């Protein structure tokens, strides 16, 4: 392989050796030549041996021998009588030349060998350090995705590559699971020079987990040397273990998630069956009491049984309605009948109804001038009724505020209470099905579906519902609704027209 | 006056059950949590308890477990229809009987009556001869007769029918019967029971349509004494 290697002694070092050989000889020759009469032959020979040693150290055997040859010629032609001729007068000079040549070659050999050993040791050390860096990148990451991305990133930066990727088997053949830099779709892209892209199998034990695809740097740089291939192949196998570990981890997490879903489903079923059964039990007990011929009930008692039956049937009806709404929302079949209407129109009656039902103080601040929204008024009424009910039952007698305003392209409606508020960790969970706030020792009355349904309805309108803390304490439910499309475009027009 | 404690977290249920007990001459106490129930039992010493198992806080099973460490007051538990395991646990913990929600009031009242009767007969002198229809069991002579004729029973069959009859009207769980008849350590061998109960039915009852020895599927057996008249 005559391709220079990043891990081996590179091309620039060889060139440097020859440069040292030629320039060194020239630099040494000039002053010696100036004082040719005064310097002894020994000084000249030693000076040229210095050049040979330097050239061999810089570039290895080739430059060493080159320096030796150049020195030999310069010594023979310029410093031995007769000048400018190969032949020499003094037979003793032949001996000097021969000894010089021998010593120069031996020095070149020795220096070059030790230099090669040093380079080798250095290369080994770099290989080891590289593998170490690579292995470290395998340990640090958690998920499969992160592990793979970490591997390709590290490989690419350590080898200074144009691209690196990991291909994993999937149902539709191998797929690039993680890519860093530029990697052609086919691992052996046709547009690449041969040797610039390589694929290493990632083996774990007997089976191949995936493949490591590497693409060498830009057109100017070289392909892969033997040492690099060795490191990459070793590393690919190490990475295979990490990938397998991460895959197992993911498998385990998936199983856990399924378990959690299962647990939730059971909790949901329990909750529904409890909620359905409880009113049924009251109704059955009351009705069977009334039918009992052994007992003579007073009018007051009969009245109480009938009242219980009546209110428990209402409770059951509410629950069934909620369940139906919930399943419609989940099936995406809510199908709101959208009409352009103003928020004030909808809020007014709901607030009036809530006031008469509970003598609750409700302050409404919904300006008539607000742009209209595109909503199903019946559904929005349902949402507001529910939110006001909630606010009232948690407000502990303090007034409840309903306020609306415009925020960009959306309208914001806030239902604000000054009750105990909702602790931060539960703020999202209150929108979960069958979630009820704990605490207060008070038995929650609702079905646990109200807020989930509210959010579902609002989202079906393209809006959103969230809860914030009221300044000074309490909960504020914030309902955002998109403006009616005509209005929205006029807002946008205004904004565009504004300089 | 008999004093009853009704424990349920659903006010309508408490109201209906309490009204039914009052109209039948009970003095009624109520509690809506396990803690309140335990306090009420200690301070008012009721003669019987109607206990819902699905209570917030300390649940019904735990209430029962704590009660049974110091009192044998009769307890009829109210359970959800889909909670078979709690039912068995409650009976094994010493509940006298159970009623599944939704229940008819007449059924609940009948269970309370049986539980009270059993508690009284356990404290008073027990009748030495138990009669149920055509079957009579003489506990002193260890003799069982059907229509006046002696019935030959193996020792285990006799102990089984004796245990059931002395708990007449109550549901005896598999575990209860196995430990009484075979001894501790046999609690899980309910197939023994099936075999012996089948033999007992052949000798004392009508195997095709049992009147005396009723099976409560998955739970246990009940010895039923027909109401006189």
Interval A8-38: pLDDT, tens:
444 456 788 899 989 999 998 988 888 888 8
Which residues from B are below 8 Å from A280, CB to CB?
101-102
DSSP per-residue codes, B122-167: HHSPPPSEEEETTEEEETTTTEEEETTEE----HHHHHHHHHHHHT
**A187 lies in some domain:** yes
- Judged by CB atoms closer than 8 Å, whether chains meet at A288 and B106 is answered as yes
Distance CA B121, CA B133 (A): 19
Contact B80 A277 (CB under 8 A): yes
Structure tokens at A419: 């009750």
Integer distance in angstroms from the first to the last C-alpha of chain B?
26
Which of A400, A396, A397, A394 is closest to A450 using CA atoms?
A394
Of B45, B60, B123, give the one whose Cα is nearest residue B95. B60
Answer yes or no: is pLDDT of A122 > 70. Answer: yes
- Indicate whether A97 and A212 sit together in one domain: no
Q: What does residue A468 show for φ and ψ, rounded to 5 degrees?
A: -125, 175
Please tell me whether residues B137 and B195 are part of one structural domain: yes
Quick: pLDDT tens for A426-446.
777 788 776 666 544 344 556
Beta strands in A245-399 (DSSP E): 339-341, 362-365, 373-375
pLDDT digits (tens, 9 = 90+) for A195-249: 678 888 888 888 888 888 888 876 556 667 777 788 888 888 888 888 888 888 8
Same domain, yes or no, for B13 and B103? yes
B80, A305: Cβ pair inside 8 Å? no
From B102, which residue of chain A is nearest by alpha-carbon distance? A281
Q: Which of B91, B123, B155 is the last residue of a domain?
A: B123
- Closest Cβ opposite residue A282 in set B12, B20, B23: B12
Q: What pLDDT, in 10s, does the model give residues B176-185?
A: 888 888 887 7
Looking at the fold, whether A226 and A101 belong to one and the same domain comes out as no
Section B160-173 average pLDDT: 87
A200 is in which domain, residue-wise? 142-251
Instruction: Indicate whether B159 and B144 sit together in one domain.
Output: yes
Q: Given the structure tokens 């000054």, which residue do they identify?
A: A418
> In angstroms, rounded to a whole number, what is the distance separating the alpha carbons of residues A463 and A492?
19
By C-alpha distance, the chain A residue nearest B100 is A281
| Position B40 in a domain | yes
Chain B residues touching residue A284 (CB < 8 angstroms): 101-104
C-beta separation of B39 from B128 below 8 A: no
Contacts of A68 (CB under 8 A, 6+ apart): A48, A52, A101, A104, A105, A108
The domain boundary, picked from A251, A286, A321, lies at A251
Confidence (pTM): 0.55
Interacting residues of A262 by C-beta distance below 8 A, sequence separation 6+: none
Residue A470: count other Cβ atoms within 10 Å of its Cβ: 17
A407 falls within a domain: yes
On whether the CB atoms of residues B2 and B26 are closer than 8 A, the answer is yes
Say yes or no for a CB contact (<8 Å) between B104 and A285: yes
Domain range for B202 is 129-223
The SS3 of residue B101 is coil
* pLDDT tens, residue by residue, A296-327: 899 999 999 999 999 999 988 988 888 888 88
Which residues 6+ apart lie within 8 Å of B65 measured at CB?
A: B93
SS3 category, A163: strand
Number of domains within chain A: 3
Q: Are residues B216 and B119 in the same domain?
A: no
Other CB atoms closer than 10 Å to residue A498's CB: what's the count? 6
Tokens standing for residue B161: 């029918």
A72 inside domain: yes
Q: Mean pLDDT in chain B?
A: 87
Instruction: Please tell me which residue of chain B has the smallest CA distance to A442.
Output: B56
The reply to whether ipTM tops 0.85 is no
What value does the mean pLDDT of chain A take?
81
Q: Which of B15, B54, B80 sits opposite A308 (nearest CB)?
A: B15
Both A172 and A215 in a single domain?
yes
Which chain A residues touch B13 with a CB distance below 8 Å?
Answer: 278, 281-282, 285
Q: Which of B104, B119, B151, B107 is nearest to B48 (CA)?
A: B119
Beta-bridged to residue A414, according to DSSP, are A403, A478
Distance separating alpha carbons of residues A81 and B169, to the nearest angstrom: 140
Is residue B201 domain-resident? yes
- Structural domain contains residue A346: yes
Is the residue at A316 inside a domain?
Answer: no
pLDDT in tens, A330-351: 888 888 888 888 888 889 888 8
How many Cα atoms occupy the beta-carbon half-sphere of A491 within 13 Å? 16
Report CA dihedral (B110, B116, B122, B123) to the nearest 10 degrees.
Answer: -160
Any domain includes A328: no
């Amino acid at each position: 392989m005559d391709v220079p290697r990043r891990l081996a002694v590179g091309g620039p070092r060889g060139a440097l050796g020859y440069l040292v050989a030629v320039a060194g000889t020239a630099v040494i020759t000039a002053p010696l030549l100036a004082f040719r009469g005064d310097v002894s032959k020994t000084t000249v020979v030693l000076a040229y041996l210095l050049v040979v040693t330097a050239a061999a150290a810089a570039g290895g055997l080739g430059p060493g021998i080159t320096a030796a040859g150049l020195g030999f010629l310069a010594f023979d032609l310029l410093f031995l009588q007769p000048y400018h001729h190969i032949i020499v007068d003094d037979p003793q000079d032949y001996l000097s030349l021969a000894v010089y040549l021998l010593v120069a070659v031996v020095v070149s050999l020795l220096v070059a060998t030790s230099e090669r050993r040093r380079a080798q040791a250095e290369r080994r050390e770099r290989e080891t350090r590289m593998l170490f860096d690579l292995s470290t990148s395998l340990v640090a990451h958690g998920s499969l995705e992160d592990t793979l991305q970490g591997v390709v990133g590290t490989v690419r930066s350590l080898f200074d590559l144009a691209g690196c990727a990991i291909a994993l088997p999937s149902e539709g053949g191998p797929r690039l699971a993680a890519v860093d830099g530029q990697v052609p779709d086919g691992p052996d892209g046709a547009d690449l020079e041969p040797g610039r892209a390589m694929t290493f199998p990632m083996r774990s034990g007997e089976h191949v987990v995936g493949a490591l695809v590497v693409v060498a740097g830009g057109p100017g740089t070289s392909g892969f040397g033997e040492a690099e291939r060795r490191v990459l192949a070793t590393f690919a196998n190490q990475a295979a273990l990490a990938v397998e570990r991460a895959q197992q981890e993911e498998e385990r997490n998936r199983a856990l998630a399924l378990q959690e879903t299962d647990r939730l489903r059971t909790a949901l079923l329990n909750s529904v069956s409890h909620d359905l059964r409880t009113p049924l039990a009251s109704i059955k007990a009351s009705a069977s009491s009334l039918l009992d011929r052994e007992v003579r009930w007073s009018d007051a008692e009969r009245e109480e049984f009938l009242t219980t039956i009546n209110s428990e049937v209402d409770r059951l009806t509410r629950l069934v309605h909620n369940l139906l709404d919930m399943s419609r929302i989940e099936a995406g079949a809510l199908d709101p009948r959208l009409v352009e209407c103003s928020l004030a129109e909808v809020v007014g009656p709901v607030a009036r109804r809530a006031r008469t039902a509970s003598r609750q103080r409700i302050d409404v601040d919904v300006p008539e001038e607000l742009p209209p929204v595109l909503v199903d008024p019946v559904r929005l009424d349902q949402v507001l009724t529910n939110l006001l009910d909630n606010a009232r039952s948690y407000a502990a007698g303090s007034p409840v505020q309903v306020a609306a305003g415009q925020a960009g392209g959306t309208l914001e409606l806030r239902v604000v209470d000054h009750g105990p508020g909702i602790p931060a960790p539960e703020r999202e969970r209150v929108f979960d099905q069958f979630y009820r706030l704990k605490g207060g020792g008070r038995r929650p009355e609702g079905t646990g579906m109200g807020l989930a349904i509210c959010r579902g309805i609002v989202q079906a309108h393209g809006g959103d519902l969230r809860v914030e803390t009221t300044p000074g304490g309490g909960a504020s439910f914030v309902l955002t609704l998109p403006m009616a499309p005509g209005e929205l475009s006029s807002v946008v027009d205004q904004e565009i027209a504004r300089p | 006056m008999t004093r009853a404690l009704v424990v349920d977290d659903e006010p309508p249920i408490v109201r209906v059950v309490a009204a039914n007990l009052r109209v039948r001459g009970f003095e009624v106490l109520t509690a809506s949590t396990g803690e309140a129930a335990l306090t009420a039992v200690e301070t008012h010493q009721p003669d019987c308890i109607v206990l819902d198992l699905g209570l917030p806080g300390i649940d019904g099973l735990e209430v029962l477990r704590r009660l049974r460490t110091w009192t044998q007051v009769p307890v009829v538990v109210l359970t959800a229809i889909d909670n078979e395991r709690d039912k068995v646990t409650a009976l094994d913990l010493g509940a006298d009987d159970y009623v599944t929600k939704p229940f008819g009031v007449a059924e609940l009242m009948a269970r309370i009556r049986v539980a009270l009767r059993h508690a009284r007969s356990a404290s008073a002198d027990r009748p030495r001869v138990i009669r149920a229809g055509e079957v009579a069991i003489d506990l002193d002579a260890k003799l069982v007769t059907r229509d006046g004729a002696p019935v030959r029973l193996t020792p285990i069959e006799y102990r089984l029918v004796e245990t059931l009859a002395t708990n007449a009207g109550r549901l005896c769980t598999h575990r209860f019967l196995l430990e009484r008849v075979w001894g501790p350590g046999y609690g899980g061998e309910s197939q023994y029971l099936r075999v012996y109960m089948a033999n007992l039915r052949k000798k004392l009852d009508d195997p095709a349509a049992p009147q005396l020895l009723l099976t409560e599927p998955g739970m246990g057996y009940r010895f039923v004494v027909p109401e006189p008249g």
